[in-house]
Structure 1
Amino acid sequence: MTECAANASRPGVYILTTGGSIDKIYTLQGEMEIGPPAARELLERAGATGHTILPVLAKDSLDLTSEDRDRLAELVNGCPPGAAVVITHGTDTMPETGRHLLKHTGHTGHTDHKTVVITGALQPAAMSHSDAAFNLGSAILAAQTLPPGVYVVMHGTVFDVATVRKDKAQGRFV
Structure 2
Amino acid sequence: MSIYKKNDQGIQVFVTGGTFDKDYNYITGELYFSDTHLPGMFRRGRSTLLTNVKTLMMIDSLEMTDVDREIILLNCKRAMADHILITHGTDKIVQTAKFLANAEIEGKTIVLTGAMIPYAFGNSSDGFFNLGSAIAFAQCKPPGVYISMNGRCFDWNNVRKNKKTGFFEELDSDTDYL
Counterpart AA for 2:162: D
Paired position in structure 2 for 1:31 = 30
When the two structures are superposed, what TM-score results if normalisation uses the length of structure 1? 0.88
Paired position in structure 2 for 1:119 = 113
Paired position in structure 2 for 1:75 = 75
Structure 1: any 5+ residue segments left out of the alignment? 1-8
Q: Distance in 1 between matches of 2:88 and 2:8?
A: 23
When the two structures are superposed, what TM-score results if normalisation uses the length of structure 2? 0.86
Query: Helix, strand or coil: the match of 1:15?
Result: strand
Deviation at 1:163, TM superposition (A): 2.2
The 5-angstrom pairing of residues 7-22 of structure 1 reads 11-22=9-20
The 5-angstrom pairing of residues 84-123 of structure 1 reads 84-104=83-103, 106-107=104-105, 112-123=106-117
Q: Which has the larger radius of gyration?
A: 2
Deviation at 1:164, TM superposition (A): 1.0
Cα offsets for 1:30-55 (capped at 9, x unmatched): 21012311211111111114110000
Counterpart AA for 2:167: R
Identity, % of aligned pairs?
Answer: 37
Structure 2: any 5+ residue segments left out of the alignment? 1-6, 170-178
* 1:10/1:52 contact within 8 Å kept: no
Q: How many residues align?
A: 160
Paired position in structure 2 for 1:139 = 134
Query: Helix, strand or coil: the match of 2:20?
Result: helix
Moved >4 Å (runs of 4+) = none
1:44 aligns with 2:43: yes
